[in-house]
Structure 1
């Protein structure tokens, strides 16, 4: 199992595809846990309260994480968790505004944790 938390969004899509390809070729059948965001969030990153202060920029976002299967038939998303799926004790720590935003259909897919099997 490999974990890429807070990493892939800084890569280009070509680089993300390369990471997946390297893993499936060298570790067939491995699992990858990673977070991803929507292209909307990448496009609006300057609105993010922390990211706007850094020179590193988000580059990769994906509208539907299951689309990685189009990259290679060996990639399978096993599980997706959205912010609203967080345990209540963590979800309640978010501001009311964020909880509302993450419950509205266009925005609830902005950020998610994923489990994929490669190979």
Structure 2
């Protein structure tokens, strides 16, 4: 199956697919995703160009595993939840979590991404797809209509939007989603804003892609709206199990480097 029509940000979803599929075959895997292996084998694309991107390959798997863990905690507390994964690409999280018996699970992405997703990961009665931008806020009405606890997941997404767009997104969900709504997402390493040309694999996918947003202190987001509360966050280098190259393992012991060159997994709740 060809993926040559993908470009720009949608093409980056092939990076995370490659990272998870590559990891799954390791005996010491940080994440196991057999569905990623199956999907990658069905796509006609030159994945070899990502070889050598150790930081990103490992980082994608740490990121996915930490978000999976947080999602499981939420679903254990709220088994009747509605889940929506925004910018889902061809991520198989619904399968990876064992197809949880939630009220409903939505995966949302741009039409070209959803078209590929439907061919590789068919919808089910409980897991359906929305082909639109996450800034097309009609999806909020769809989620809210269930009247159940809400979990939003954004993996590898928000860094491609401007601060104004990210704030617009949070304004909308703060206005329209219920108390207890949980948002799980990754915060780009602050040093990478406007520096995608230095990223080890994104620069190989599409040179027009740029990283546009991050904040150095996640608590800053609590000042955007009084409903936003930081529940917890994880610095990804603390969960790498020695898999990052030696030079980075050394540098992460320096507080300045640890804070500015580290990606984070963030759990926010609307109160």
Give the alignment's TM-score, normalised by structure 1.
Answer: 0.86
- CA deviation profile, 1:42-66 (whole Å, cap 9, x unmatched): 1433221112222211100111011
RMSD, aligned CA: 1.6
Separation of aligned partners in 2, 1:102 and 1:37: 16
The 10-residue stretch of structure 1 (35-44 or 52-61) with the greater mean CA deviation from structure 2: 35-44
Paired position in structure 2 for 1:82: 235
Alignment partner, residue 264 of structure 2: 112
- Structure 2 equivalent of residue 58 of structure 1: 211
- Secondary structure class of the residue paired with 1:21: helix
CA distance in structure 2 between the aligned counterparts of 1:97 and 1:21, rounded to whole angstroms? 40
1:32 and 1:117 in contact (8 A); partners too: yes
Q: 1:57 & 1:84 partners in 2: Cα distance? A: 23
> CA separation in 2, counterparts of 1:75 and 1:6?
21
Unaligned runs of at least 5 residues, structure 2: 1-150
CA distance in 1, matches of 2:270, 2:257: 28
The structure with the largest alpha-carbon Rg is: 2
C-alpha contact 1:83 1:91 (8 A) present in aligned 2: no
SS at match of 2:244: coil
Q: Give the strand-richer structure, 1 or 2.
A: 1
Unaligned runs of 5+ in 1: none
Q: Secondary structure at the match of 1:66?
A: helix
1:46 alignment counterpart? 197
DSSP-derived class of the 2:232 partner: strand
Q: Structure with the greater relative contact order (CA < 8 A, sep ≥ 6): 1 or 2? A: 1
1:99 match: 249
Q: Residues 80, 3 of structure 1: CA spacing in aligned structure 2 closer, same or farther, 3 A cutoff?
A: same
Measure, in 2, the Cα distance between the counterparts of 1:57 and 1:80: 24
Structure 2 CA distance, aligned partners of 1:59 and 1:68?
Answer: 16
1 CA distance for matches of 2:241 and 2:199? Answer: 18
Q: How many residues align?
A: 116
How far 1:70 moved relative to its partner? Answer: 1.2
How big is the shift at 1:100? 2.0
